[in-house]
Amino acid sequence: MKILVCISNVPDTTSKITFTDNNTAFNNQGVQYIINPYDELALSKAIDLTNSGANGSITVITVGDSSTEATLRKALAIGADNAVRIDSRPLDAWYVANQIVEYAKDKNFDLILTGRESIDYNGGQLAGLLGDLLQIPSVSIVKGLNVINNEATIEREIEGGKEIIVTQLPVVIGAAEGIAEPKIANMRGIMGARTKPLDIIASTMVDPLTTIVTYEAPPVRGTVTLIEEDNIDELVSLLHHRAKVI
């Protein structure tokens, strides 16, 4: 099985989020970058499906500048076979999807895995865009995946339950919690990652469809009203009369 895993290079979940250039760009000063946690799940699933590479190959791909290579090396250390970096700033999701399609379209991947969303820009767009552009099925928010021969059985999250879907490969999957246990790199993996191929490919011309104009901090919440534990009626009354939520 030939698998492509799309990797987004994102600020660590504890990062302080601030902006520069008059609030038009993310301030990456002192920020640690990690593999987007959902992409880590996707990669872990790919390793399970190929039985650690014995039954197939795993390519990881990112659209980003050279600073994303550390993250790609980490993916190689966890278990990918080779890495591809498309050398460009990710202008918007449409732009990124088209870059990945340009690379993937003639390579006959059986499975393309993305995360359900990136934890920085949170668009949740890539899986659907890739599916449409490649004219193959896509399933977003996938909690379970099983592949037998050429058929995938997919567990998709729905409101208040789940849906079991079957499809023939190839398919694009947006990985969510539950799809796999996250794997960590061991010493052998880290050593081996240094010599695995990491190809750098030039980007193709695509006009983005959206632009982030400015960032702002979310509104600050008021201070907390503390209520004594012997005075719970007051809480109920405040929720009813003041907050009007019960």
Partner 1 sequence: MSVLIYIENTDGVLKKSAFEAASYGKEIADSLQCDTVAVSIGNVTTHELEKLGNYGVKKVINITNDDLKTFVNQAYAAVITDVATKENAQVIIFTNSFTAKGLAPRVASKLKAGFVSGAISIPVITENSFQVKRTAFSNKAIATVSIQSDIKVITINPNAFAAKEVEGHAEIVNFEPSLESKDFGTMVKEIIRNTDKISLPDAEIVISAGRGLKGPENWGMIEELAQLLEAATACSKPVSDAGWRPHSEHVGQTGIVISPNLYIAIGISGAIQHLAGVSSSKTIVVINKDPEAPFFKVADYGIVGDAFVIVPKLIAAIKAHQGN
Ligand X SMILES: Cc1cc2nc3c(=O)[nH]c(=O)nc-3n(C[C@H](O)[C@H](O)[C@H](O)COP(=O)(O)OP(=O)(O)OC[C@H]3O[C@@H](n4cnc5c(N)ncnc54)[C@H](O)[C@@H]3O)c2cc1C
Q: Which residue type does 242 have?
A: R
Distances (CA, A) of 236 to 14, 98, 109, 222: 34, 53, 57, 19
Strands 57-64 and 2-6: parallel
Indicate which of partner 1, ligand X, none lies near residue 145 (CB less than 5 to 8 Å, by partner kind). none
Indicate which of ligand X, partner 1, none lies near residue 8 (CB less than 5 to 8 Å, by partner kind). ligand X
User: What b/e string do you get for 51-85 counting C-beta neighbours within 10 Å, with b at 16 or more?
Assistant: eeeeeeebbbbbbbeeebbebbbbbbbbbbbebbb
- Tokens (6 digits) for 173: 């999957």
State which residue, 27 or 57, has the beta carbon closest to partner 1: 27
Give the residues lining the site for ligand X (CB under 6 A). Answer: 6-8, 13, 36-39, 61-64, 89-93, 96, 114-115, 117-118, 121-126, 210-212
- Tokens (6 digits) for 176: 């969510």
Spatial separation of the C-alpha atoms in residues 190 and 205, rounded to whole Å: 35
Indicate which of partner 1, ligand X, none lies near residue 60 (CB less than 5 to 8 Å, by partner kind). none
Indicate which of ligand X, partner 1, none lies near residue 39 (CB less than 5 to 8 Å, by partner kind). ligand X
Spatial separation of the C-alpha atoms in residues 4 and 99, rounded to whole Å: 14
Min CB(117)–partner 1 separation in Å:
8
State which residue, 83 or 140, has the beta carbon closest to partner 1: 140
Min CB(8)–ligand X separation in Å:
4
Residues whose CB falls within 8 Å of the CB of residue 5, separated by 6 or more in sequence, listed in order: 39, 42, 43, 46, 58, 59, 60, 61, 75, 80, 113, 114
The residues that bridge with 113 in the sheet, in sequence order, are 5, 173
* Spatial CA neighbour of 72 closest among 199, 162, 158, 172: 199
Min CB(153)–partner 1 separation in Å:
8
Indicate which of ligand X, partner 1, none lies near residue 166 (CB less than 5 to 8 Å, by partner kind). partner 1
State which residue, 129 or 198, has the beta carbon closest to partner 1: 129
Min CB(241)–ligand X separation in Å:
26
3-state secondary structure of 236: helix
Min CB(94)–ligand X separation in Å:
8
State which residue, 200 or 246, has the beta carbon closest to partner 1: 246
> Are residues 35 and 143 in contact, defined by beta-carbon separation less than 8 angstroms?
no
State which residue, 89 or 240, has the beta carbon closest to ligand X: 89
State which residue, 63 or 152, has the beta carbon closest to ligand X: 63
Min CB(138)–partner 1 separation in Å:
6
State which residue, 188 or 244, has the beta carbon closest to partner 1: 244
Closest residue to ligand X, judged by C-beta, is: 123
